[in-house]
A = this chain, B = another copy of it.
Amino acid sequence: MTTRWLTPDEQRAWRAYVAATHLLEDAIDRQLQQDAGMPHLYYSILANLSEQPEHRLRMTDLAERTKITRSRLTYAVTRLEKDGLVRREDCRWDKRSSIAALTEEGMAVLERTAPGHVETVRASLFDHLSEEQVGQLEEICTGIARALQEDGERPTPDDVPWRRRSSPPPCS
């Protein structure tokens, strides 16, 4: 098969995308490490739980929401549980699954950390986008996420992260 190399326009967009996503993730992780001693993913887990009724989610649903593999989620939740921010519970209606529940301390950490996190997201990203660009970014990212989660006739391909046990080794 002939390789469909990137056009010059696509190459420039790809390089800018890789640079921007690295720098943005670095800025966000750094603020959260400084203020709450946790990386962005851990914060996202707490934030996702806080939005649920009773602050609880099945682990499988939490993996789907955070777009990560089950093994990576298990590792993160184990760490958060050790710090007293999340509690694992048995799932009453699905014996194969378990529940992650936000503790009161987890909610307190989230409430204390949220203003600084939002300020960083705003200062690193939204302060540099026009209203029009906010809409463009949403449309582009929604399209990409949809494509990577749907696969023609099968609505969700088996190789989405949260259906896999293992992820590629961490990014260091």
The winner among A30, A32, A134, A168 for most chain B CB atoms within 10 A is: A168
The copy count of this chain in the complex is 2
Query: By the criterion CB–CB under 8 Å, are B136 and A168 in contact?
Result: no
Check: A105 CB closer than 8 A to any chain B CB. no
Query: By the criterion CB–CB under 8 Å, are B6 and A161 in contact?
Result: no
Residues of B within 8 A of A20 (CB): 140-142, 144-145, 148
Residues of B within 8 A of A148 (CB): 20, 23-24, 27, 124
A29 to B118 CA separation, bound complex (whole angstroms):
28
Query: By the criterion CB–CB under 8 Å, are A6 and B121 in contact?
Result: yes
A134 to B6 CA separation, bound complex (whole angstroms):
11
Interchain CB contact (< 8 A) of A138 among B13, B146, B167, B172 = B13
Sort A-B residue pairs by CB-CB distance and give the 10 closest, nearest first: A16-B141, A20-B141, A29-B168, A170-B170, A13-B138, A22-B67, A3-B115, A23-B148, A170-B172, A20-B144
